[in-house]
A and B are shown apart, each in its own frame.
Chain A
Amino acid sequence: AQSVAQPEDQVNVAEGNPLTVKCTYSVSGNPYLFWYVQYPNRGLQFLLKYITGDNLVKGSYGFEAEFNKSQTSFHLKKPSALVSDSALYFCAVREGGYNKLIFGAGTRLAVHP
């Protein structure tokens, strides 16, 4: 069965510093990987996805993610964090022939002024 793990419950970073939110995955076959962000009392907003191609994927709001097959990782990154980036971030993998997403437990990102 497919799965993703987000090893950090919370990540703290100062505004202006680079941020990384970690995700590792376990899949059979080629992985379809996603990152979503959730603000308080809101649904999930799509940030980016990896299907195939370049290992560095660029997404919304200046975020990018690096796919590493040998380390089975798909870490989310941003060169310069903003206070407004503070939110809950979910990594997900698509399972099966239909659009079922398997989510990690989430990582809370706190960006301090």
Chain B
Amino acid sequence: ETGVTQSPTHLIKTRGQQVTLRCSSQSGHNTVSWYQQALGQGPQFIFQYYREEENGRGNFPPRFSGLQFPNYSSELNVNALELDDSALYLCASSRPTPSGDGYTFGSGTRLTVV
């Protein structure tokens, strides 16, 4: 079975620009979550998508938005980039089981905002 793949692996953007990060979920997983991991910190939950709808959101402003497609792949969009948005962005896919089955994480996209 394939794992979670994210693209691009690295990205440099200028403050005020917009960015789109992409994620392909693991085969059989229909739920995708996005996390932001700032340097030296644990991952912070941004939001989750299930059946192409956002069904949970963390403490992130509306300029963080997402999409999920019929094939369960997903995008994270960030508008009006700020320097503090520099981080590793992780995508995780899972099955929506009540017991919280294991989550499979991608290797992440390292975003640097200058």
Task: Name the residue among B44, B48, B99, B103 with the largest chain A CB count within 10 angstroms.
Answer: B103
What 0/1 readout, one digit per residue, does chain A (78-113) give for beta carbons within 8 Å of chain B? 000000000000101010111111111110000000
Minimum Cβ distance to chain A for residue B81 (Å): 22
Minimum Cβ distance to chain B for residue A51 (Å): 5
Within 8 A of A (CB), among B36-52: 40-45, 48, 50
- A104 engages B48 (CB within 8 Å): no
Q: Which residue of B lies closest to A45 (CB)?
A: B105
- A94 engages B90 (CB within 8 Å): no
Q: How large is the interface on A (under 10, 10 to 19, 20 to 34, 35 or more residues)?
A: 20 to 34
Q: Which residues of A contact B105 (CB under 8 A)?
A: 36, 43-46
Q: Which residues of B contact A97 (CB under 8 A)?
A: 98
- A46 engages B104 (CB within 8 Å): yes
A interface residue numbers (CB < 8 A to B)? 32, 34, 36, 41-46, 49, 51, 90, 92, 94, 96-106
